Structure 1
Amino acid sequence: MSRVRVLVFPSGSEVGLEIAQALQGSVHVDLYGASSRCDHGALAFVRHAEVPNIAELDFDARFARLLSEWHIDLVFSTHDSVQEYLAPRIGAWGASLVNGDSEAARLARSKSATYRFFGDLPWVPRTYAGAGLVDNWPVVVKPDQGQGGQGVCLVHTPVELTVSLGSTRQPVICEYLPGAELTVDCFTDRHGRLLYLGPRSRERIVGGIAMCTRRMGGDAQVRSIGEAINRCLRLRGPWFFQLKRDAQGDWKLLEMSCRLSSSSVAQRAAGVNLALMAVQDHMGRDLTVLEDPRVLRAERRLTTSIVLDYDFDTACFDLDDTLLCDGIANPSAMRLVYRLLQLGKRLVLLTRHPSDPLLTLEAAHIPATLFERIVHLRQSEPKSAHIPLPAIFIDNHFPERIEVSRSLRIPVFNVDALDLLFP
């Protein structure tokens, strides 16, 4: 079976990391990442490259060369400016861009262009060409090419408006919409059919990202807006739009985008993997949506991964209160065990367990075959004597860690670091 070579760029954005999680287990995908800056993308993608920013003169040549060297079939752009830049160019470089119609990408990047394109439709917010034309206060000033609510300012007087216009790049003056806000995740297939429309709330926002989002039921007005956008533009793949209720309770358009949204993970959790659907659609497959309505809410948070500047062959684990907690396998430790095996590392178990460690492992449903060696130590025997170098050592007991650290000068970790290692 032929696999699709997929490149995610920029790879380290929240959208890029969501695509990595959405595609990393697919048998249909070989996954690659690229970024113009040093960020988490290099940790999330096994195959990763650094490329210039799209504003740099050598971007086109370097990016085209990367596509050729990796034989990339399909590119996911994770930023609206990148989407707009790549859309008219990428075909000449031998790859396809997800939702890569250049006119749709151009319109989606500019709020003013979007509002003009859809003209006087009832769900387009009222805009004002200048401060002197505002007849209903307050109003909102926002950057024409902003995203995620960043740079938006509510102003109540002409004086405040003048100040805001002077401090906002390419400002757009819009009517104030005081009501609830929605993001609507969508998917359009290669036949132009709107296969999926999934509204969700934005209940807690950090840095323009919905850290708490709740999947909502159907709304005829929301669907009508989504169908109108889909009918008017050449869309193919995942896209989304954002709405807010006006003073009368009607939905008005804030913005739209020709890419995946980062919090579309809520839809993926309910069975609607929009990134994978894009790959399947690229392969020419007709798709069916299988959605579980019982998945209602997604909670997100910041996570941390460390970069270890140390090359090692072996990871040595303690058993009690490290690999096991109260006789039960520690999920964080087991995740790390299997991740290290995936990276080709050898595993050694070092324990002073009071009884037969093999029986204890069996009772905890941990296969002893995970470990190259299992060393059952006497109480006074130093663990450092059984650690083959180069290695790392993981143990909950501080005296054990300090003995190994002082004897071997290798990295040692407590159980609180398990989730930070090797994502």
Structure 2
Amino acid sequence: MSSIHKRLKILVFPCGAENAMEIFDALRYSVHAEVFGASSVEDHGRYVFDNYIGSVPNINAENFDAAFSKIISEREIDLVFATHDSVIEHLSVRAPFMGFYLVNGDPQTTAIARSKSATYKKFSAHAWAPRFFSTLEEIDQWPAIIKPDRGQGGQNVQLVHSLREARLCELTVENPVWMENLPGKELTVDCFTDREGILKWCSARTRERVKAGISMHSRFLSQEEEIESIAADINRQVNLRGPWFFQVKQDAGGCWKLLEFSCRVSGTMVAQRARGVNLPLMALHDYLGRSVSAMPMPCIKAVDRRISTKALLDHEYHTVFMDLDDTLVIAGSAVPIAMAFVYQEISKGKKIILITRHEGDVLAELHRAKIHEGIFEKIIHIDDKSHKSQYVHESSIFVDNHFPERSDVFLNCQVPAFDLDALEFLMR
């Protein structure tokens, strides 16, 4: 086990999906973690992870093991979060030989979780296990569900209404699994099991608006005995350690039946962190041998999500020129996104220069807005008709709400010139 006195080096792989972004956000400010991201394809991870590793071979490639082992060795990675079910299954048998700890990476458990048929067989003795069929001829009630044995996110799941339709669908689904139709409500249940096998967290949430298999709106439910019992049963029968989740759906009689369980962080596990339960961070503390507990905030009842956009700035700069009125300050108050951007750039070693035509005392205006003048390398107060482009140099970027000022700087200085609304794209 790594020393508790050093920052753990954490690798998220692959790092472009929503659950990878959640792990990054959950750990980015932790004093215990230095977070790396790696991907086999060009994806959103490059725009988020400062420590980004691209062009990793696919897990099915012959050179994957050697390449991944090299990443682990050269970056001195302590701990890996695998964000895809096939990846965590693949790495589970390799982690001991490559010298890293794989979060929730028990080989037998990851293999069961990756296969729907293996999952349903494992838990078939329980009332909450769905009916599944080995052949079409066994199906005695229609409609029924066909799904790929190694699928995820609801991909290629189909409702079929007859044997004839089923035979046609079977031709389009790889390694199909047949199961009873569950027409009721669906829930995701986020869980955490510690190093002693104790289920420390179990929380169900709704899936009210779903895009690409990811819940965009979720409400938290009061703890239900039936849901907690399912979580406890799963936790007893397989070896789990760290964040995991399962999904259930109601049958025609209103009873909850298992759809799947997974050993990874879920796409909307951020919902738990929004109310104070940081499951990826709990995994780090558990790895370090510390007792963990959750402290949920009951005042958070629901979460809602949207697509976030980031831009890759292909421009070398060491200085940010920032306007004051209606950019850094609006109606006497500091603009939160502008201040966050300023401090982000300072943390990256950039110089911040305030450049303004403010009518009045600039320092007094900063004081009213609770902004300390010490964050600026220099304050340029223009009190004549000179252009801001006279002060801006090429190794810089320019932020100003006024289009004529941005146009002047962009055309004459050949540097990126952003309005206030664009800063969100540059935030990491």
TM-score norm. by structure 1 comes to: 0.98
**1:23 equivalent among 7, 21, 27:** 27
1:268 maps onto 2:273 in alignment: yes
Deviation of 1:379 after TM superposition, in Å, equals 4.2
Partner of 1:195: 200
User: Retained in 2: the 8 A contact 1:187–1:194?
Assistant: yes
Partner letter of residue 388 of structure 1?
Answer: H
Q: Secondary structure at the match of 2:11?
A: strand
Provide the C-alpha distance between the structure 2 equivalents of 1:89 and 1:152, rounded to a whole number of angstroms.
31
Provide the C-alpha distance between the structure 2 equivalents of 1:324 and 1:397, rounded to a whole number of angstroms.
13
Provide the C-alpha distance between the structure 2 equivalents of 1:231 and 1:256, rounded to a whole number of angstroms.
14
1:14 maps onto 2:15 in alignment: no
Deviation of 1:48 after TM superposition, in Å, equals 1.8
Partner of 2:377: 372
Deviation of 1:159 after TM superposition, in Å, equals 2.3
Partner of 2:147: 142
1:307 maps onto 2:307 in alignment: no
User: Retained in 1: the 8 A contact 2:393–2:413?
Assistant: no
| Aligned-pair identity (%) | 47
Partner letter of residue 290 of structure 1?
Answer: M
Provide the C-alpha distance between the structure 2 equivalents of 1:164 and 1:325, rounded to a whole number of angstroms.
59
Provide the C-alpha distance between the structure 2 equivalents of 1:249 and 1:194, rounded to a whole number of angstroms.
26
Q: Which runs of 4+ in 1 moved over 6 A?
A: none
1:295 maps onto 2:300 in alignment: yes
CA displacement, residues 53-95 of structure 1 (integer Å, 9 cap, x when unaligned): 1011111001011111111111110000001000011110111
Partner letter of residue 162 of structure 2?
Answer: T
Partner of 2:46: 42
Partner letter of residue 25 of structure 2?
Answer: Q
Task: Provide structure 2 residue ranges, at least 5 long, that are not aligned to the other structure.
Answer: none
User: Retained in 1: the 8 A contact 2:327–2:338?
Assistant: yes
Provide the C-alpha distance between the structure 2 equivalents of 1:153 and 1:64, rounded to a whole number of angstroms.
39
Provide the C-alpha distance between the structure 2 equivalents of 1:330 and 1:289, rounded to a whole number of angstroms.
33
TM-score norm. by structure 2 comes to: 0.97
Q: Secondary structure at the match of 2:80?
A: strand
1:403 maps onto 2:408 in alignment: yes
CA displacement, residues 384-411 of structure 1 (integer Å, 9 cap, x when unaligned): 1111331111111111111112211111
Provide the C-alpha distance between the structure 2 equivalents of 1:242 and 1:221, rounded to a whole number of angstroms.
13
- The farther-off stretch of 165-174 and 235-244 is 165-174
Q: Secondary structure at the match of 1:213?
A: strand
Provide the C-alpha distance between the structure 2 equivalents of 1:228 and 1:188, rounded to a whole number of angstroms.
13
User: Retained in 2: the 8 A contact 1:316–1:393?
Assistant: yes
User: Retained in 2: the 8 A contact 1:313–1:389?
Assistant: no
Partner of 2:390: 385
Provide the C-alpha distance between the structure 2 equivalents of 1:136 and 1:102, rounded to a whole number of angstroms.
36
Provide the C-alpha distance between the structure 2 equivalents of 1:336 and 1:160, rounded to a whole number of angstroms.
56
**1:181 equivalent among 169, 181, 186:** 186
Provide the C-alpha distance between the structure 2 equivalents of 1:292 and 1:283, rounded to a whole number of angstroms.
25
Any residues of structure 2 matched to 1:327-366 within 5 Å, and which? Answer: 327-366=332-371
User: Retained in 2: the 8 A contact 1:314–1:389?
Assistant: no
Q: Secondary structure at the match of 1:358?
A: helix
CA displacement, residues 149-171 of structure 1 (integer Å, 9 cap, x when unaligned): 12111111222212211111111
Q: Cα RMSD over matched residues?
A: 1.1
Partner of 1:316: 321
Provide the C-alpha distance between the structure 1 equivalents of 2:422 and 2:373, rounded to a whole number of angstroms.
23
Q: Secondary structure at the match of 2:268?
A: helix
